[in-house]
Every structure is written in structure tokens, then in C-alpha cells.
Structure 1
Amino acid sequence: MANSDKLQQLIKLRATLKAKLTIFEKHVLMLTPCPSLSDLQLIELERRFNNFEQIYSNFDTLQCDIEILSEAPEEAYDEREQFESRYYALLAQARQLLSVASPQEKSAQSSSNKESAMVRVADSKGDKHDARLLLDNGSTANFITDGLCTKLGLSRSSSDCTVTGINNQISNSTQSCNLILESRYGDYRVDLHCLILPEITKTLPSTFINIKQIALPSGIQLADQLFYKPAAIDILVGAEIFWNVLGSSSIDLGKNQPKLYETKLGWIVSGYVARPISSTTFKCNFSYTELSHDLTKFWEIDSVSTKHSLSTEERLCEQSFNSNTYRDDDGCFVVTMPLKNDPKVLGDSYEMAKYRFLSLERRFQRDPVFKNMYMEFMQEYERLGHMTENHKSNPSEKVGINYYLPHHGVLRESSTTTKLRTVFDASAVTTTGVSLNDIQMVGPVIQNDLHSILTRFRQHKFVIAADIEKMYRAINIIPSQQSLQQIIFRYDKSQPLKTYTLNTVTYGTASAPYLATKCLVSLASAVCDDQFSSQVKRSIECDFYVDDLLSGGSTLTETIELSKRIINVLASAKFKLHKWKSNSHEILKEIANLKITTQVQPESIVDLSNNSNMSNKTLGLNWLAHQDMLSYSIGIENHEKITKRHILSIISQIFDPLGLVGPCIVQSKMVMQKLWVDGNKCDWDDEVLDEVKNLWLSFVDTLPYLNQLRIPRWVLIDDYISVELHTFTDASERAYGACVYVRSLKQDQTVKTQLLISKNKVAPLKPTTIPRLELCGALLGARLCKKVTQSLTLPITKCRFWSDSTIVLGWLSMPTNKLKPFVRNRCHEIQESTIGNLWSYVPSKDNPADLVSRGLSANLIKDCELWWSGPSFLANDESGWPSMPSKCKDSKLPDIVSHFSSTTAENSEWHSLLLKHSNFIKLQKIVAYIFRFIRNCRNKTDKLSGPITVTELHKSLTFILHNAQLEMFPEEYHILYSKKPLPAKNRLLSLSPFLDPEGLIRVGGGLITPHTVMTLSILFYYVASIILQK
């Protein structure tokens, strides 16, 4: 996750804690005037107070992370100061109110018992089952374990929810279900929507509770009769259900005793109970699905890609835009925020927004320069009519539903125009725990991805770059929704607080990016159809990344005309392009002469990662417009302590969308994988192991060499007559990758070959053979080339694919039905996506993909001609290109569907047998019985019976080992079977392997030879010599 995304998530979580603080504050203020508290008031306050103490711990953890990531640490410190001031004041007030309660004995160890209940739940057939439920008024969702969901046979639906708990630990729920829950003691029944997790929490309570020490009254029906016994939790219900089932009665059992609360599920036991002295475990309602699980999935072999289809919500969002959007008399778009919930679910937000603004004013006092910039920004906002002061300053007098957006300033030193941007926080929750962003639909991504735009940017001889000035604010929000975009502000502290309405699409709202980009696409579709307008239409639809334009043409005249037409079309909707850059002074001169546009920047450096949501980049890609070169900017600060958090933070800020320095960056991925393999050996903030540290330092120490790179942006040759794409693929034990080169040819047969794009992935942690990894590299190359051909708009004469693996080329040249599933599925996709194109052999020394699969130090990549221009043979006529070695053409390939003998089971059946039986001896006997059954079927007169013999067990063992070796070492088996020597770098070479008479690969060397193995009679030694993978 990028730092800015993580920061926004943390801020949203912090807003939730601040909302809880406000709720508790209101409760305390309500009780303060009371001369004395009733027992019920005291119980309720104590219950809230017990939960309140945890708020600061959670806030402190969140705030530390925010202060590390924030661009404005002073503002973050101010947030801490404000929170702590309110928290400790409330703490003192609450303790004063609770002073009438008896103090706990300090010598007693205690544990907070969680509110559990036994309930009945219905399965898919309507039958009832008992389940253990946990009531959690701090949860905003309901949960069910995967085990119970499977047991009940409930229908599942896809979901994509992030569950955040104590210490900001995160789990992901990808499925949900509907559940009918009933009380065991009454007619209470409720339909729940539950997120599915592997585990909700560990057993509760953590240890047995001595029930003899609890003075339970007789005659009451406990919701959980066995609340004192540790047991698993099947269901967790959140705040909505908690308050629905909670009754009005409670029983205080006295000092050092829990309390009983009446619910529709029975009486629940809550509060402090005595626990054994030896118990030191504390529980919270959180199931930590390790982050390493999510990261491990990232490194797994890619599944077959599918086209993205719109979700139901995305389709509704599109329908909303098409039905409700119009253009006013000036041509401006007027849009409606796509809402998925009624705004009535929003609670009060005025107090929250007021606190945030008062905090902002304190920063104004400490930082006058920041204040002046902020005031200038807001004055311009009001002057342009983008916000309007409300005449009624009292929020209670407002008509309709109001939502007040907190706001703060973000300084952007890299900006050439506006150094400060005001950001509006539509994720700030109201008193109901719901924010404006929570009720909005986000909408689909409708623009081209950045990879496609940058790839196409390299095909044009003449290019232009610009961005839309105040893009969001050029689009108006429908008047009926403007009450949902209000802010609190004043220009001077001596003035009363004022409220303003934001009239345009607001930065910080969930739907803003979709609404803005959809308006652009809609504007493009309205362009009149003619020969040149189709190019204008395509540029507006495909060459914008949010508000940034990167486009061009093949001639000077074409590019100038394209620029003028784009300017006019956008101006019709009041979109104004500015900050123009080009590799041609003539183009900039023509644009500068237009009255409709301003601000031409001929000597600018264009940060191509400006819209990558990275505030601080380890490595960023730039375009030097005046030189027409691509370059990299490196920004790594020295860090004395190398921790897992530090390394992952640095890696997450690497921006290399075209993979132009892929051989260098793949090393960081290898470090990352190594870090995760050793994940249990060090925590997030512990210094990493020396091995990882040395790998990391060797990577970052050479990274600054990339500052010296100057890469030609334009990849073609002047006056070309044909353009070819050449895709090279390769794999090593650690990674696999692919790179695409553009080969352009002039009339006089002059050739230019230039690297266009590359991609790499680290090999999966699960052991995989080199040929299979080579096949994954070929699949990656096929997908990458397909993506490139879809991105480019110039005619491609032909595409050619290259691999140095004769096994992969053999697989691709044969019918897929002869291949095993892993190979068959990937070969099928490769053949489908590269149909009509040739796969050819390239020697390893001429394969540039070898660099991206093995890695190359940053201090060596600059002078690596093979990487930047591809193999030298591409400069020659095709007749001089490599051909397939004759000795490999008729080789027997691994992973072919075949039979070990007439009795061998199919591959899928063999794996099914392995999955069913984890005991090796049992498996060996089962296989022996299978062989006996086959023999008896063939020899009806001479059938075997009785116990399995030693000979049969030996045959079974040989069969099992043979199949295992075919899976583990297919390439080595093929070579040894052909009686050829293993390659110099083969992983088994040091073991001097050979095939014995039974077809098993064994350790050779010294006295061990095929002949001596035949003479051995000691079974232990005989088996020990067999080679197997760990």
C-alpha cells in the first residue's frame, strides 16, 4: 500500500476514535449536573468507562504511525495535543463521578469477562443448531466463522472488506452470508448479514473461571450457562444488535464480582471476575489473519487473467451518472453524487468539524506563513464561486440534511503553482459512526491505466503534456446535494464561526475521481465525427490520467492541430489546460499564442509519478522535456536501524511503471520475499537479520547510480516503414520476467531497437521446476505483449517471441491435450494470445530477459547494451537470427501426460491419493494392494492373497518414489534418461546423479555407480541414496 493510502486509512480510523471520544464526552456531560447517580447510571458509566480507557491506547498507536507518515508533522502533533487534552479532562471527570464506587482490591488478579451467549441458528434447510455468540458493542459489523458457515451450508457471496482491530491489525474478509439467529428463551429472531472469517478470536475466557467465587442468584436464565469454560466463538454481533437485545435490568453482584445484564438472549455475565494467578493472557475481539498471508499470495504464480466486468455497484454508479448529469448554460457539467444509502443515516457532524477547525486555527497561530497560504487558497475558492457563505450560521436552522467536512492543508513543495492544497475529509464519521464517503459509490475506473498511457507516450515523435487547472472545481454539484458539502471557516479568529457550502466536486469525497474522469469521457463522446476529430476524441478518452494529459503525434503540424482542438473541446466545458510542456519549442510557441490558454513551461521536468499517490518516492520516473529523455530521481534517507517496516516502506515508494530498471528493482523484491520467509524471526520494528540487512544495503547503496540514466523517450527511428515487437522471456530459480523491444526499420534497411517495457515477478516460495518457471515467464511475456499492442496506436508489422528454454518451446509446439494441467493451462493461454506469431529460440547469452530474472546491480545497468537495445542480432537481417538447436528438436519433454507402466494412475488420481493419506506406510500399502488387484484381474488362475509381501512393498515404494521424482526433477530426469550430462549450473550436479535400473535418480560420486548399486544388499543404504526434494 502506498504511504498516502495508508495515511488516509489511519486518519479515518483516528476519526472513529475521536467520534467515540465525543460520544463519551456527551454522556459524561449529561451526568455531571446530577447530585448523585442511580445504580443503573453508575453501572452504565462504569461499563462505558472500562471501554473508554482503551481508546487512548488505540489512539496512541494510530497517531504514532500518522506522525511518521505525515507530510505535516506539526499538524499531527497538534492532533495529539488536542486529543490528549480532551481525553485526560474526560478521564478526570469520569473518575470523579465514579468515586462513589468501591475500589477494587489491588491484590486480586482479575479478568474482564466478555459477554457471550448461546443461540440457535438455522441452516440452509431450516434446521436449528446451537452456536456460541459474542456481543461486542465496539464492532460495526457482524462476523461468523468459516467453520460454522460451512456446517450450516449457508450461501456465500463475494465481498471485499477490511477488518481493523486493536493496534491497527488488519484482516480481510472476501466472503459474506446471511444468517437467521434466534434466542433460546423467547421469540426474539433476527436476520443478520455476516462477514466470514477463518477465526473470530481465540477461546474465551482464556482460562477457567472459578464459578464458586461468583454469587450467582438462583432462578435466572443465563444466556451462556457455561460462560466460565474456555470455548470457541462462532458468531460476533456488533453494536446494532447489541443495543437491540440489551434490556433495562441489571444486577450488581458486589465488590470483585461481575455484573449481570438482562438481554433478549438471557442474562449475560459481564465485567471483572477472579482468575488464576498463573494466567497472564488478555483477550480482545480481534482475529489477526497474518499480513504475511496476503503478501505470500502476492508472490504466488499468476492465475489466468480475466477481463474486468463491472460490479453491481459500479453499474448503478454508471446509471446514476447517465441519468442525472447535465450541462448548464455555460457548458459546465452538473453532476449528482452517486449515493448507495440515504443521507438520513448521517448523524451530527458540526461539533466534530468545529473541533477540527479550532485545532487548525491553533496551527495558524504557530505558523503564520502556513496561515497566509491557507487564507489565500480559501479566498480564491470563495472568489471563484466554488464555495458560498451560508446566511444562516446556526447549524440547527439549516434545512435538509447537512454534513460538515473537516479540512486541513497539505503542502506540496514539488508543485510549480499551488504550494498548498486544502483537503476536505469526507471520511470523518458523524455521531452515528457513518461518514459521507461511507454512503457514496466509488464508481469504476474508466480511464486507461498509467502503463498504457506511458507506453503510448513513447511512440510519438512529437509530444505534449499538460494538466487541467482545478479539474474537480470545474464541475458543479447538483444544488439539492450541496448541503452535504459544508465546512466551518473564518478568516480571522475575532470573527464568529461561519459555515460555507462547497458548490463543486470536492477533493476528498469518494466519488470525486469517478465523476471528474467520467465527465472527460462524456465530453469526448460528444466530439463530432470527422477524420481528425477521431484522434481528438481518442486523446481525450485515452491519453488523460486523471487530470494529466500525455499525448502527441508523428508530425509537428499534426501535434499542433491536435493540441488546439483538445484545448477548444475542453474549454467548451470550462476545463482549462495549463502547465504545457513539449519536446518542441514550435508547439509551445503556437500554444502560447492562443488566448484561451496560459502558462507554457518549456524547460520543465515532468514527474510521471505525480499521480501515483506517492508523497515521498524512493525512485520516481521523470521526463526531461527539453532533452526529450526519461530519467529517474532517487530519494532514500539514511536509516541507522534497518527494520521490516523501514524496508517495506522504501520498497512501496518505488515507481517504475515501464520496468526500465527492472533488473535493479527485482533485487528489492527478492529481499522482500526473503524478509517474509524470515518473518517470524523479527517483528516490524526489530532490526532484521544480518543476511537480509546485507542484501538490502547492497541494493540501496547502488541505487543512486540510476540518477545518471538518460533514456530516450522516443523508441522509433525516423521515417520508419515497419515496426516489430520482440518479446524475450526467461526465468531463474529466484524470479521470472519478460521484456518487449520495438524494432523499427527504414527504407535503407537501417534498424533501431529500443527497450519499451519490462515486467518481472519473483518465483513462488513453493518449489517449482525451472521449466515451469520458464513457462510462467513465457506467459508473462505473452500477456505483456498483448497489453502493449492494445496500448499502441501505430501499425505493428509483426510480433515475435523469444525463449532460451527448448522445453518451453517444445511444449508450445505440441497439442495442449498431451500436457499435464499446470503446463496445459498456461500453454493454452499463450497459444491463444500469440496466435499467428512465432516463438523462437534465443541463446541465453543473447537473452535480455535473463537480466530481469536474475537481477543486475544499478551501477552496471547504464552501460548494458543488451538491456537497452536487445541482442545484437536484431540489427541484422532475419536470415542471421538464431535457430533452434538440432539436438533439442526431438527431445522427450517433461510434464507430458504418459504412463509409468500399464498400471500407473492418472496424475490427478495420483495427487488425489496423496491428499487423502498423510501416513506414508499406509500409502505404501494401499499402492501395493492396487498393484495386487491389477495383477489378480489379469491372472485369474494365479491370484495373490494374504499379507502384503516384501516384494510388493518394494514395488510400491519404487512407484511412489518414481512419481515423486518426476514431479520434483522433470528436467533432470529427462536429461539422465537420454544419457546426457547435466548442465553446468544444474542444482543436482554436485550430487553426481544417475538413473538406476529401476528408473530412480540416485546420488553418485566416489564408489557409488550404477554398477555398484546393483550389488548392494543393505536396504537402508539403497534407499538413502535416492534423491528427493525437501
Structure 2
Amino acid sequence: MIADYEVKGYAHKATSKELTLTKQNRVWYLPLVVVSNPKKPHKIRLIWDAAAKTDGVCFNSLLLKGPDLLTPLPQVLSQFRQFPVAVCGDIREMFHQIKIQSQRFLWRSTPTVYVMDVATFGSTCSPASAQYVKNLNASEAAGQFPRAAAAITLNHYVDDYLASFLSTKEAIAVVNEVKQVHAMGGFEMRNFLPNKSEVLRGVGELENGVEKELDLIRGESSQSVLGMIWFPKTDEFAYTFTMRKDLLPILAKDHVPTKREVLKVVMMFWSDSSTVLAWIRSDHRRYNKFVSFQIGEILSFSEPNEWKWVPSKLNAADAATKWENGSEIKSDGRWFLGPNFLRLTEEQWPKEKSVSTTEEELRSVHTHWEKESTSLDSVSGQDYFVRWDMYYALSTIFYIKKCNSPSESGVLTREEIKGAEEALWKIAQSDDFFEEMKSLKETQGSPHDVHCIVAKSSSIYRAWPFIDDRGVLRMRGRISATQFASYEAKYPAILPRQHRITFLITDWYHRRFRHGNKESIVNEMHQRFEISKLRTLVKKMLE
């Protein structure tokens, strides 16, 4: 392999001049480690262990890591799922195309001193250096190839290129330009795989008919890999997992697991109380302090969709407390094996009665009514409101009035709350996307209908927007083909980043997740909204 490195110009034997002129106290020999991927046993990678210490000092400790120049992974993947025609590829041996001559190592039993002439895996500065050179090359070609320069900067994650296009013609043109610009900087794009075979022929590669494994690695030695496989023919993603070593003994045939060990493996929760499930699935702050606190504790370690309903007569937990004919805690009983229906398909499990809300333990809410105003527009001065909750509640009341369905007592229905929330979205959308809304209203309807296309100069042009049956401006993308995502996840509402309502919604998510980390808030908001530069907005909120 070292001989191959010499042929490619990645390394060379140190010359006598290099050995004599270099001060010996400034020489550092890096340990060489061979790493293999269990999924690719035929392929090995050389790692220069720049983290190895001598007298408490390692090579990496003397290097500057550099800025994180990577496009965020969620952004790269969402862009890859945005339009119908998808293409991915990668740069051949990307790090080794960056010229950096500074690292020595010894080879073979009769040591021969070699010098690396390129960036290596293991050095803390390699990822930033490679990204900088890649982006610099793109910026220098931006005048002649603006589309390719933007694609190289925004659609790469380390050496992987993932992009989507509205048509095969556009895909072929941009990919060929990307190949040309990369070649100008000494990078070779290869292993192209599209979901349309004509794209492969258009970029001069043969169809191989295989799936693409997206081992998206940051390029550091931490091995933070997202093991994901893309099947282009069906346009589906699959994930690959490896069982944690500490869980293997638990699953051994002769091992009887304790309750704590079982919880490490089983990630599903059951209750035979429809009331408890209704509490878990609704806003727990609506209930009295005791219930609110207990449900808050439950939601701190689980998600509402992880909770299932089980009939009382099939509840395995009762085997420990509700005895009729003596103890049921037997090795072949339901306490250890669970109810029999778990061995059936999920479609055959007991069907839960539809209980979305409950008034049990509901906290009293007092509402003040005014007769003068019946229009939502009269309370649209959102700048006067500090918190989303207050604006949301007040707007809900006016929405009910506007619909001529005043309800002076009882709990607001889900439809009333949903309508009020959408009314707020539409205020923000009309304020910032007036021309787009005016154009798209002509084809308002289902996302599967034919819709008008907004002007290319519009900031939401690439969101492929449409207005749905309820008058909400939403985004379309290839994620709409999935069977399991909710309507809002498939078609998120588009909100202007600088609008006060958007700021209030972001603040509500920030407080709901107890001032959690940025990615948690961004991920939750992405389930419902499309907001440009959302991370910047959330970061501003956290400051």
C-alpha cells in the first residue's frame, strides 16, 4: 500500500538532505494504524495517529483544528430529498489531494523514513483544510460555473455529494459542471448514482444497479458514522445498526434478564388507562399540578408515540398485583413472556378507543370576553406580545368569534385550536409572501394537484410552494412519498424568518424543551415548519 502511495505522489522516502537539514528536536514520527470497515473487508485505510502522546504531548495538540466548514448534515439530506431527480457521488481519496508536507513515519522491520506529502486521516486539521480547499476551488470557478460552485459548497458533506433537481436535464448539466470544476482543483468525482438511469448515461458513467451506502463521516478519527443506505430504484433510505456489545449477553439464550436490563432493549410503553394516555398525548400543562408534574416526568424519558394501549385483562403488569387464583409469576406466564398478542402483527393488536382529550384533573381556565371586536385582524399586533402562549390563546378566542361559534364554557376543540394556529401562520405568510400567496391562491388545493409556480426571484422558489385546502402556504418535496410521516412533516408550513410570529413560535419551542440544545429545537420545528436559516434563528434565541 505504501508503494501505491509513492506512485500516486502521496508519500516519498525521505532524502538524505531532508534527514540532515531537519533539526532532530523538531522531528515527529507518527504511529501508523491500519483500520478496516466490517462492511467493506476488502478495503483498508491508513490512519496516522496524531493523537498518540509522548511526554503528555501529541501532534494534534500542536495543531489548530480550524473552523467547521461543513454544511450541516440535516441541510444536506433535506436538499437531497427536495426534488424528484436525485444524484449522489463522492470525491476519490479527498484528503490525499490536499498538499501538506510535514508528517513523517517509519515503514517495515528495517525502518525506512517516509514523508507524507498530503493531508492524512487522523490529523485534527485535515477536515477543515480539505473543506477550505474544496470551497476555495469552487469560489474561483464561480464566475464561469455559478451553479456548480453553489452545489460544491452547499451539497457536499466531506467527500460525499448529494443533490436533487427538478429534471434530468438540469441534473446532467449541473453534475457535469461539478465534475469539471472539481477536476480544475485536482479532485476526481466518481461513483455517481442517480434515481434516473438517463442521468448516469448523461454524465458518462455506466449503470451499476447497486444501492449507495452513505457512510457520512466528518473525516476525524472519532468514527461518527451515519450508517445509511439509499436504494435509488425505490428512492428509499434504510439504516444499518450493530447491536451494542454490552447488550449481547442480555440476549443470550441462558440469561434471565432483570427489569433494568429489559428496559435497555425494549423501547415501548403500555397502559390500560385511556385517561393516562390522553394526558400523555396532550399538553400536560392543562392539568392540575400533580398530574402535570407526573406526566412531565414520564415525557422526560419517553415520547408520546412510544405509548400504546393494552386492555386491562391483558395487562401483564397486573400479574404481580392482581391475583385471583394464586401467583401468576411463572416462567411461562405473561409476566415474563408478555401478552400473546405481541407475537402477532401490529395490525392484530388490540384497538384503542379514540380518546384524544380528557377533562379529568383539568385545570380551571378563566376567559374574559369583549363584545366590541370580532375580527382576528384586530389582535394581529403581534409585536405587543412577548410570549407565543398569550398570543396563541387570545387569537384562539377571536378565531371562535370569527367563525360565529362562541363557546363560553367547556374545552376548546382541536379544530378550533388548529384553525387559530393556522390563522396566525397565514398572517405571517401574507405579510412577507404577499405576491406568492396571490399567485398560488389561483390553484389552492391538494399537494397532488397542479399548482402555479412562483417567480424564480422569490426567496421560496426552491421550496416548491403551494397553498393547501385550508389556505396555508406549504412546501413540497420528495419526502411526501413516504407512508409514515404526518401531513405536516410531508408538507411543512413556510414561515418568514424575520417575522414576529415566527420568533414567538421559536421561543415557544425553546421553552417547551426546557432550553434544550439547538439541534433538538431545530429538529422538532422541522417536523412542522420550513424556515430559512432556522439554525441562525434558534442560535439567536439561545444567546
Normalization by structure 1: what TM-score?
A: 0.27
Which of the pair has more CA radius of gyration?
Answer: 1
Normalization by structure 2: what TM-score?
A: 0.49
